[in-house]
A and B are shown apart, each in its own frame.
Chain A
């Protein structure tokens, strides 16, 4: 098959991705699976038609991705060099050396550092390529589980360029499946690390839970401070009836990197999706979340924290489709913009006709700490049913002068007082994490990124 012809209107930057696909088409995982190969081709066709989004596109109104388009990342990673950096010092091992984890270095599973011992019967966690290989040779991953019905199906590459690029070029990531009724008591960490070099990575994560299954999954992204790399991640989540997933995303990518993440979740009747997305690193970060509540009494809650200091730009977008009656959604997001940073928030709840007794709430609070920083926020409700309870609230403000004065009158210097109040502002996002060990680790990691936060002194023990 020949490569799709790039449209003339596409930039050289966009064409590079199409060419990379043509070149790597045959070596990408799942070349032998027709459905997967078709999905990849469909995705690259879509991208060839649209190219990268511009700010004229309402969904990208406040985020400019032209700098990504102009860069030439290494798209032909043929000789991967997994980093040998041990996990020591990393927060995950500090609390629990036996923590369940899948470590992926530069897109390659690092078995030496991973630990998947003691998973419940039937629950599997596999690297993406490995999972695809199993299906490629005609085997099934688990009874009642077909990759074909999930992968690229929950997040079709129909309406977003970055999701399309990931679909076309995905070569790493993880597939997790919990059979009906399985309960995973311990949190499972997916640790994505990046070595040096200007590369582009396309991780894909699929989390599927059978009826009544429960688990906690944490995605953790980090990388070197000085590397200029692109992470274009897609997470697909499929929760069958009565399933529950606690999902946490820690984005601590290198401060020169570009992190664009898509999350799509399909939530069936009575299932619950609770997520916390903490966006702490990267030069430009975007979380693009789409939730479909596909059965009565399905619930989701999306917590978010974004820090935009330095020259960081962070964008949080969430869209929730209330298709059935008695569903509930809650978006709770806090943002801090400092330095020359810019924080963008957009959440939309769409209540379809006949989705009576829906409840949809959105809260977005922002702290604007400097003259050159900016906050753009846009909560959105579109309601086509009458018996609903929907609300949204958004605020942009700064630290309270009176509170600052109070602290200073107690002999606390200005910097510490500001740090304390800033911490107080974001505190509840961390405290809404139920597991005490996770809460402590995440709290500590978050503190390290908070602007003006010296980690010495008592504040470092803020989360216990």
Chain B
């Protein structure tokens, strides 16, 4: 704990003294955290008793925990007492019924970020459940999905409309005792997305959520829960941008995926939060717990991520392969430029028979960036014929950056096959020379080579995301060469 209870107390009593960035009335609680804040969040959201109690249990457990320090990260201590744990746009009181009802200022912010919500939704055929700060403000394509019995809504709405599903699944993949950041999230999570695909339904469109961080000094504590019932399929997209800001912002999200028998979940993320400037000032601290549970036989979960933003990324999307013949996959591109630090990877926990997993991780370090792959492949005693293949490659650009790999393999079954390969290298002069003598400019050449390096991962992304991801890499690497 960075604060004794007494300190937290004074912080709670202190008046909120920070101005807002967008001229939009936010319903923000003063910085600080205690049981009353947890109760307040729960009450404001009109949550049922079981959820309030769950939050409080998490909060009490959190008090007994200390912040992990094993990651290959370096940052000033986070003052958990200086964070405001709840912020909601005030206009949500009645709840907007359609886009027209949404606060125009809010829509304007989206516009600035280059995501014209309505347009994009129509053009791309994507259902968008946009999360602005902590409360969902607009949900589209709901009717179309509802026809098939698919529930896709904000987390708070799910709590109101489908409490039995929440009670049944919340915390079953990431328990509230899981780790420091997940526990904190469990106590104070504000909102997020909820998705349920009924038995045998193949979701007709890519589901996507756009997370934004807007109100200054508001920790974002998203909670996402995706449940794919027997034989169903869903592809879920998550993308993030944030306006530049000078104060480090904490983001501690939790994502839980549940795949029942024969179900498949494809979860893709493009993350380009503000990385801070070249001196490491500003930027998002991203401490995320993401875990999928392949609960049923023949279920499948794949994580694809493109991580280019955040000052700090601490993220290990994992798969628990519980069912027989379950399949887990992890495809990742992580880029750290400027003074960004990324400690990311995955865990594949093989418990069922004939379970298979694939890990492809590509790390790119430039500038003074530090990039670490940290992964665990665990083969349990009963995981007959389990298979894992891991490949993690690092590309170094510049002599002040770092690339690190920490793969753990724990094998307890003699019929398992686990393979791990890793390489580290820089863009070779030969490759560059070849491109240059064909008349390709240096930046373009580098970007081509980097794209080739990441191809295995981009291939896993849905089309429109793949294009966005390539653009993002280009933008993020600007000025990294030469």
Check B421 for interface membership: any CB of A closer than 8 A: yes
Check B198 for interface membership: any CB of A closer than 8 A: no
Check A356 for interface membership: any CB of B closer than 8 A: yes
Contact between chains at A381 and B426 (CB < 8 Å): no
Q: Which of A192-200, A372-380, A403-411, A426-434 contacts B (4 or more CB under 8 A)?
A: A372-380
Interface residue ranges of B385-404 to A (CB < 8 Å): 394, 396-404
Contact between chains at A378 and B402 (CB < 8 Å): no
Interface residue ranges of A166-194 to B (CB < 8 Å): none
Contact between chains at B411 and A375 (CB < 8 Å): yes
Check A385 for interface membership: any CB of B closer than 8 A: yes
Check A386 for interface membership: any CB of B closer than 8 A: yes
A389: nearest chain-B partner, CB-CB: B425
Contact between chains at A394 and B414 (CB < 8 Å): no
Contact between chains at A393 and B70 (CB < 8 Å): no
A360: nearest chain-B partner, CB-CB: B424
Contact between chains at A387 and B402 (CB < 8 Å): no
Contact between chains at A392 and B405 (CB < 8 Å): yes
Check A7 for interface membership: any CB of B closer than 8 A: no
**Could you tell me the distance in whole angstroms from the C-beta of A74 to the nearest C-beta in chain B?**
36
* One of B72, B399, B402, B411 near A374 (C-beta < 8 A): B411
A354: nearest chain-B partner, CB-CB: B399
Check A464 for interface membership: any CB of B closer than 8 A: no
A389 and B424 CA atoms in complex are apart in Å by 6
Contact between chains at A385 and B407 (CB < 8 Å): no
Contact between chains at A390 and B423 (CB < 8 Å): yes
Contact between chains at A377 and B409 (CB < 8 Å): yes
Residues of A near B412 (CB, < 8 A) are 373-374
Residues of B near A382 (CB, < 8 A) are 72, 402, 404
Interface residues on A, range: 35 or more
B393: nearest chain-A partner, CB-CB: A391
A383 and B403 CA atoms in complex are apart in Å by 5
Check A459 for interface membership: any CB of B closer than 8 A: no
Known contacts: A374-B411, A388-B396, A398-B414. The answer to whether A381 contacts B404 by CB under 8 A is: yes
Residues of B near A383 (CB, < 8 A) are 394, 396, 402-404, 424
Check A70 for interface membership: any CB of B closer than 8 A: no
**Could you tell me the distance in whole angstroms from the C-beta of B57 to the nearest C-beta in chain A?**
25
A24 and B418 CA atoms in complex are apart in Å by 50
A395 and B419 CA atoms in complex are apart in Å by 4
Check A291 for interface membership: any CB of B closer than 8 A: no
Residues of A near B423 (CB, < 8 A) are 390-391
Check A96 for interface membership: any CB of B closer than 8 A: no
Contact between chains at B411 and A391 (CB < 8 Å): no
Contact between chains at A388 and B425 (CB < 8 Å): yes
A394 and B375 CA atoms in complex are apart in Å by 13
Contact between chains at A386 and B415 (CB < 8 Å): no
Known contacts: A377-B409, A393-B422. The answer to whether A385 contacts B399 by CB under 8 A is: yes
Contact between chains at B407 and A387 (CB < 8 Å): no
Residues of B near A381 (CB, < 8 A) are 394, 403-405, 422, 424
B366: nearest chain-A partner, CB-CB: A386
Known contacts: A392-B422, A393-B422, A394-B409. The answer to whether A387 contacts B404 by CB under 8 A is: no
**Could you tell me the distance in whole angstroms from the C-beta of B408 to the nearest C-beta in chain A?**
5
**Could you tell me the distance in whole angstroms from the C-beta of A311 to the nearest C-beta in chain B?**
15
A217 and B147 CA atoms in complex are apart in Å by 78
Contact between chains at A386 and B421 (CB < 8 Å): no
Chain A interface (Cβ < 8 Å from any Cβ of B): 58, 353-354, 356, 366, 368-371, 373-398
11 chain-A/chain-B pairs, Cβ below 8 angstroms: A368-B416, A375-B411, A376-B410, A378-B409, A380-B404, A388-B425, A390-B424, A393-B421, A396-B418, A397-B417, A397-B418
